[in-house]
Structure 1
Amino acid sequence: MTLPTSPAVPPSSPDSSALAEARRLAPRVAARSEEIEAARRLPADLARELAEAGLFRLVIPKALGGPSLHPAQIIEVIETLARADGSTGWCVMIGALTAMSAAWMPEATARTLFGAPDTIVGGVAAPTGRAELVEGGYRVTGRWSWASGSQNCRWLTGGVVVTKDGAPRMIREGIPETRLLWFPIEDVTLHDTWHASGLCGTGSGDMEVRDIFVPADRSLSLLTDRPRVEDPLYALPPFGLLALGIPAVALGIARRAVDELTALAQQKKSPLTGRTIATRGAVQEAVAESEGTLRAARALLIDTVNTTFEAATHKEVTPRGRAELRLAYTHATRSAARVVDRMYEAAGGASVYRSSPLQRCFRDIHVATQHAMVAPATLETIGSVLLGAEANTAML
């Protein structure tokens, strides 16, 4: 069973080539799931094939040779890959959305980092590094966890707190200046720390730099800087754009779980009745409810993304609009987890074996839900906005 195509993404759109490439490569990705899982990273040749297909360039500005896709199309591309393999969808999500930085950089710098059509980038936005302000740029030291897909990257970014003479620079009382700084892979040490319960093939180990110089034009702030490219895509809330792929990965994993349970239900038989479990009322109810949950969550996500994008074309995204966008992300991700749980339980003992894709879906989705952008705490901020209460909306 396939999900309906968003009416905002007509099949005749020239930008649909990215989705066609994702669909073309999906069977090959699925066939290598075990290999990806065992390697604990995306194989270099597969990453290169995905890059050559343009799947890491979904948000690159048109002026730099990218497609600058509509956000609903971005969701479909990532969802398609995550349905084939959750780790691959996650790595493409990280690489593609992190590349949004191209729209915030001086054009010459953006061309250096993102100009090559097969370049893969990644990194971690959390400001766990320190950047001392010096002439012409920064001296940077830091270590970041969850650097997904970093083994295949040419450039990596790390979030930092900016310091001057060793003390944090404050943009206002109690709020230090934070920025994203970009480093060539040669300046980065990758630590093999990714021994995780799920999304095992993402290679999300630690990355570290020690006292390296980063020129000022390789830095940006999503909180205080404005994009240099005029395009509705970059008029979306910056963190809303950065987090766009997380619910897409979750929905793809959940759809795979429904696919797997549906196929299993036609084959697995009850030892008591000899009939397939597709005839069991509990399994039928689980599939029906999960189908409704998944489609409803996806419909809310696509509708909210389309509404926000339309507002962005007129530069009219309100705080409530930003909150509703994040609500759609969190709701889709956590709804997807409930769907996977139902499919895992409905399969019974068959789902616990390493040979069952359902156990991987179960492990992968429960790692995806741990991302800070869709964690339960986001609902507190969202609820505060919807209630008209005071809230810190900077990360929305």
Structure 2
Amino acid sequence: MSSGIATTPAAAETDRTLLESARRIAAGLPARSLDIESAGTLPPDLVKEFTEHDLFRLAMPTELGGTGASPRAIVEIIEEVSRGDGATGWSLLIGNIGNAFLAWLEPEVARRILAETPDLIVAGGQAPLGQAVPKPDGTGYTLTGRWPFGSGSLHAHWFMGGFIVMENGRPKTNQWGAPVMGVAHFPADRARIDDTWHVAGLQGTGSHDIVAEGIDLPLAHTSVPYFERAKYDDPLYRLTAYNLLLTVMSGFPLGVARRALDEARLQFADRKLLSSGTSYLEDPAVQVAMLKHETALDAARRHLLDTVDELLGALAEDPLDYAARARLAAAVIHVYDVGRELVQGLFRLAGTAAVLDTNPLQRCMRDLVAGSQHVAFSFDSRKRIANARLGLQTAPAFFGV
């Protein structure tokens, strides 16, 4: 099925140029992984290189200065960078998600922010963990909140954070009795970063807590991306915010899992069996395990990319129902599940050599398992997606498909 995306020579060349840049940068990442992990964040030269090649603008609407990369190319670019280093790939995808959410602001507001900070990178999240108290004159809010897991916070220029509107000390509710929520966008120098990121996996992402304490938040710097799609014509914006987020995230497990396969093949070829003197890779049990994992990853990747193309093609003609749109979220979750099983299986297969900090297989396992813990792949998210896929969802759901 067609993706409904114009594949002009210029568009194809844009995708090729961006992918080539990503591959060139990714080629140098394995040698830097330990340093990135030790620093706990991306080095400035790497942030600059991504910026210079527009790799933080992959998912931004073209009207706001985005690259116009196809959704398939976005998946492949994140995949390539994540194959080089998981933490770097994660930081890149989070920066792209942050910039993509500018699409839910009024266009003139987003353009003004971008004009003031042309190399903008946005970090933060959409979970409504903040409290916004309306100002008496109706021009905005006083915002207080703490948002954990702020990946990329140490190199971001702006932050975003979800909030609940407060009224008389209690959450304000809408006509259905649900809390009134939104997402705040504010300059990084108006907030504080608390050093909380001491973790097993994705150590190099700088995912510290972002803290706002009574900051002034203009009404124009708020959005409500939870239920409605953004009003842009780019194919990616045919998706809901949740499905857009998942699409940008989907290249990460593909790349990390592929790197684990690469490393396993090299390590198992060098390792000798004491009983026979032959390489570990010649052991039939190892071969069967490698075949199983590689085939599962290839199948999950193909299913994901086909689903992206099919859904975007269908959405070009019809908004579709929740059940149809849930296919994409299910495909992304499946990729994460397959990738996690793969890295854990190869880690076990590698034996005691894999426990060393210097072994990339260990880092692949830690990074992919950590990424899989994201709330987007939680049981509650899976339950919501299953509900939609089975045709049981009849109204818009919070951050739904």
Where does residue 21 of structure 1 map in the other structure? 21
Say which of 208, 232, 236 aligns to 2:235.
232
* Deviation, structure 1 residue 65: 2.1
Q: Deviations over 1:223-273 (max 9, x none)?
A: 245523233321212111022232311111100000000111211111221
SS of the counterpart of 1:129?
Answer: strand
Where does residue 241 of structure 1 map in the other structure? 244
Q: What amino acid is aligned across from residue 387 of structure 2 in structure 1? A: S
Where does residue 335 of structure 1 map in the other structure? 338
The structure-2 alpha-carbon separation of the partners of 1:311 and 1:152, relative to structure 1 and needing over 3 Å to count, comes to: same
SS of the counterpart of 1:128?
Answer: strand
Where does residue 279 of structure 1 map in the other structure? 282
Name the TM-score, length of structure 1 as normaliser: 0.93
Q: Any gaps of 5 or more consecutive residues in structure 1?
A: 1-5
Q: Deviations over 1:100-139 (max 9, x none)?
A: 1222222221123334442211111111000112221111
Where does residue 306 of structure 2 map in the other structure? 303
Alignment root-mean-square deviation, CA: 2.0
Q: Is residue 57–residue 99 contact of structure 2 (8 Å, CA) maintained in 1?
A: yes
In structure 2, how many angstroms separate the alpha carbons of the residues matched to 1:297 and 1:148? 26
Q: What amino acid is aligned across from residue 355 of structure 2 in structure 1? A: V
Q: What amino acid is aligned across from residue 372 of structure 1 in structure 2? A: V
Q: Deviations over 1:260-301 (max 9, x none)?
A: 001112111112211110110111011100111101111111
Q: What amino acid is aligned across from residue 102 of structure 1 in structure 2? A: L
SS of the counterpart of 1:172?
Answer: coil
Q: What amino acid is aligned across from residue 76 of structure 1 in structure 2? A: E
Q: Is residue 324–residue 389 contact of structure 2 (8 Å, CA) maintained in 1?
A: no
2:124 aligned with 1:123? yes
Where does residue 108 of structure 1 map in the other structure? 108
Q: How does 1:372-387 map to 2 (within 5 A)?
A: 372-387=375-390
Q: Deviations over 1:5-34 (max 9, x none)?
A: x9x897960221221110111122222111
2:44 aligned with 1:44? yes
Say which of 193, 217, 221 aligns to 2:220.
217
Where does residue 263 of structure 2 map in the other structure? 260
Say which of 343, 348, 352 aligns to 1:345.
348
Q: What amino acid is aligned across from residue 382 of structure 1 in structure 2? A: I
Q: Is residue 139–residue 213 contact of structure 1 (8 Å, CA) maintained in 2?
A: yes
Moved over 4 A (4+): 8-12
The structure-2 alpha-carbon separation of the partners of 1:388 and 1:64, relative to structure 1 and needing over 3 Å to count, comes to: closer
Q: Deviations over 1:138-175 (max 9, x none)?
A: 11000010000111001110010112333322223331
SS of the counterpart of 1:123?
Answer: strand
Name which of structure 1's ranges 178-187 and 316-325 shifts more when overlaid on structure 2.
Answer: 316-325
* Deviation, structure 1 residue 211: 0.5
Where does residue 93 of structure 2 map in the other structure? 93
Q: Any gaps of 5 or more consecutive residues in structure 2?
A: none
The structure-2 alpha-carbon separation of the partners of 1:379 and 1:9, relative to structure 1 and needing over 3 Å to count, comes to: farther
In structure 1, how many angstroms separate the alpha carbons of the residues matched to 2:72 and 2:366? 26
Where does residue 31 of structure 1 map in the other structure? 31
Name which of structure 1's ranges 177-186 and 66-75 shifts more when overlaid on structure 2.
Answer: 66-75
Q: Deviations over 1:40-98 (max 9, x none)?
A: 11112211211111111011222222123221111111111111000000011111012
In structure 2, how many angstroms separate the alpha carbons of the residues matched to 1:377 and 1:164? 28
The structure-2 alpha-carbon separation of the partners of 1:354 and 1:9, relative to structure 1 and needing over 3 Å to count, comes to: farther
State percent identity of aligned pairs: 35
2:399 aligned with 1:395? yes
The structure-2 alpha-carbon separation of the partners of 1:182 and 1:339, relative to structure 1 and needing over 3 Å to count, comes to: same
Where does residue 67 of structure 1 map in the other structure? 67
In structure 2, how many angstroms separate the alpha carbons of the residues matched to 1:387 and 1:369? 24
Q: What amino acid is aligned across from residue 398 of structure 2 in structure 1? A: A
SS of the counterpart of 1:124?
Answer: strand
* Deviation, structure 1 residue 185: 0.9
